[in-house]
Structure 1
Amino acid sequence: MKNIDWDDLRIFILVARHGGLSGASTASGLSPATIGRRMVSLEATVARPLFVRRQTGYGLTDDGRSLFERALAMEASARPIEDWLSDESSRPLVRISAGTWTANFFAANFSRLWTPEDRFRIAFKTTEARLDIAHREVEIGIRNRPPENPNLAARKTCEVAQAPFRARNRPLPGREDWVAIAPEDAITPSARWVASRKDITVAAWANTPHTLYDLIRSGVGKGVLPCFAGDRDPLLERAGEEIAELREGQWVVMHNDDRHRPEVRTVIDRIVDLLTSHALLFAGQRPLGSE
């Protein structure tokens, strides 16, 4: 059985389609001389004349037409593989687990984490629950404490401050109730802190951070937010001092093996750079209008 180079067959298809070397040259980017030599080599390989060469171009012999039909079938069969190889979905995916407010901050600064030239994609897994990095639910997790699992590694980035916030356009000062995450949905330390208070009146409960945020912004009451979220919103203002007992560190956590993958390492470095460059914001030292 003769071994025919698929690249030669692709060039053969172009010559047959365009009726000569010039058209095939334009379509392939190869010189007419190179294409001519490749076709002579192909004829030698199959031991049959494939072309009738005229001054006006290249015609196909009976064997040439027979090969052309078979080559077209091969081209059609190969196209799904070529499409798969060039498919954007074949690029590796870096999954990032983060809470609502950190994911919101990442989205607002996405150009610091990814560029169109990167050969990977990013997927956010926004949840207040902890996804399992050790069992590869995600590649990177943003956590409020370092991991205990020996298979995980971490890099500390900054301190995160929490404070009560209210709407700037709230009604005239008077009694000010709170809005909070419902006790049965209280996963985060800030939600549990509000739920444990016996000295406050809650006007409305929410089951997600975003709904809590909407209630605060609409003036229903004051609620606890990370300073890096509340201080960035011109419609909000501080409703009290930082809640010192809610201050916590922030770590970028990853699997010991995955962190050596080039795309994961790149995203980790960019996240660390982004968070550390905004350390004062996260620490509550840059409230809106303070500069």
Structure 2
Amino acid sequence: MKNLDWNDLRIFVRVARGGGLSAAAAELGSSPATVGRRMLALENVLGRPLFVRRQTGYELTEHGRMLLAKAIAVEASARPIEEWLEADDRRATVRISVGTWTANFFTENFARLWTPSDPFRIAFKTTEAKLDIAHREVEIGVRNAQPDSPNLAARRTGEVAQAPFRARNRPGAQREDWVAITPEDRATRSANWVDAQPGITIAAWANTPRTLHDLIRAGVGKGVLPCFAGDRDPLLERAGGTIEELREGQWIVMHNDDRHRREVRTVIDRIVALITAHSALFAGERPFGEG
């Protein structure tokens, strides 16, 4: 049957054995609502009612009992394959969409996000563009705005401040121009903010945030960076106060269904704990050398 999702059979067995949605959801690391939707989808594909739904739980129909016997046989036949995959160390992957500087911060603190004993791996998708969480391009995104899709959920972590930075060892008498992102590569509010400033001179352009940072470090000019990036670099110093019109909130965004997966929930909790522990740094309240 081409429309049958075999993973639904696995869920069905757990619902049947547990007598309801909650026990199955807990075992699968999902939500009762998601498990319930999968069972409705399975019944629709098979064209047969599998459960009598009561307030006290789910009771199998005659069709449900027949399917359970067959599904248990399928599960038993699949066990050698699962054991082979486990022996091959195939773990689930949690994909995280982040910008350049968040990726840099996360990689420096990777031990706070993942340990070798975790039954999953982390894959960073570093881009200034917003990957599509609703259509499962990634499981988690770090965003500067709340999602507007009903399929997405979010947890606020705090605020992110931006400021101009210059090279710390730059001669004081030297003329101070700016470095900026090229017009065709602007994807952030900070890049557009620099372009909107009147009367400034651009000494050099960069097409990526990392190259922009390298130009600032080399003393070519000053440029705008998130405070949590610039203030962590001992070779940089503030070239002015925080730019209040660029201050914005930060959210961890995930799909409503994926957030109930155990590995996704674990990574989200660790990201929130990590950022919360460094909230002053993200908010621009910890310039380098000031504690």
| TM-score (norm. length: structure 2) | 0.71
Instruction: Name the SS of the counterpart of 1:229 in structure 2.
Output: helix
The root-mean-square deviation of aligned C-alpha atoms, in Å, is 1.5
Cα distance, 1:158 vs. partner?
A: 1.1
Q: CA deviation at 1:184?
A: 1.1
Aligned to 1:265: 265
Please, which runs of 5 or more residues in structure 1 have no aligned partner?
Answer: 1-78
Equivalent residues in 2 for 1:128-167, closer than 5 Å: 128-167=128-167
CA shift digits 1:198-242 (9 cap, x unpaired): 321000000000000000000000000000000000000000111
Counterpart in the other structure of 1:85: 86
Shift of 1:267: 0.2
Equivalent positions of 1:194-233 (< 5 A) are 194-233=194-233
Equivalents in 1 of 2:228, 2:93: separation in Å? 27
2:41 aligned residue = none
1:186, 1:195 within 8 Å by CA — same for their partners in 2?
no
Aligned residue number for residue 125 of structure 1: 125
Cα separation, 2, equivalents of 1:210 and 1:188: 14
Q: What corresponds to 1:108 in structure 2?
A: 108
Letter in 2 for 1:199: G
* 1: CA distance, partners of 2:208 / 2:87: 40
1:199 and 1:160 mapped to 2: Cα distance?
27
Residue identity (%): 74
Contact 1:179 1:223 (8 Å CA) reproduced: yes
Q: Report the Cα offset of residue 83 of structure 1.
A: 4.5
Task: Tell me how many residue pairs correspond in the alignment.
Answer: 213
**Which amino acid in 1 is paired with 2:282?**
F
Note the 1:160-179 alignment, pairs <5 A: 160-179=160-179
Partner of 1:278: 278
| One-letter identity of the residue aligned with 1:186 | R
The match for 2:50 is none
1:87 Cα offset (Å): 1.5
* CA distance in 2: counterparts of 1:267 and 1:167, whole angstroms: 35
Structure-2 change in CA distance of 1:82 and 1:256 (3 Å): closer
Paired AA for residue 114 in structure 1: W
SS at match of 2:128: coil
SS at match of 1:146: coil
The CA deviation at 1:250 is: 0.4
Aligned to 1:287: 287
Give distance in 2, aligned partners of 1:290 and 1:84.
51
Q: CA deviation at 1:82?
A: 5.5
Post-superposition shift, 1:81? 7.7
SS in structure 2 at match of 1:121: strand
Please report how far the alpha carbon of residue 172 of structure 1 lies from its aligned counterpart in structure 2 after TM superposition: 3.2
Counterpart of 2:204 in 1: which secondary structure? strand
Change (3 A) 1:282 1:81: closer
Alignment partners' CA distance in 2, 1:253 and 1:80:
34
- CA distance in structure 1 between the partners assigned to 2:84 and 2:191 by the alignment: 48
Runs (5+) with no aligned partner, structure 2? 1-79
**Secondary structure of 1:288's aligned partner:** coil
Moved segments of 4+, more than 6 Å:
none
Question: Which amino acid is 1:234 matched to?
Answer: P
Counterpart contact for 1:163–1:227, Cα < 8 Å: yes
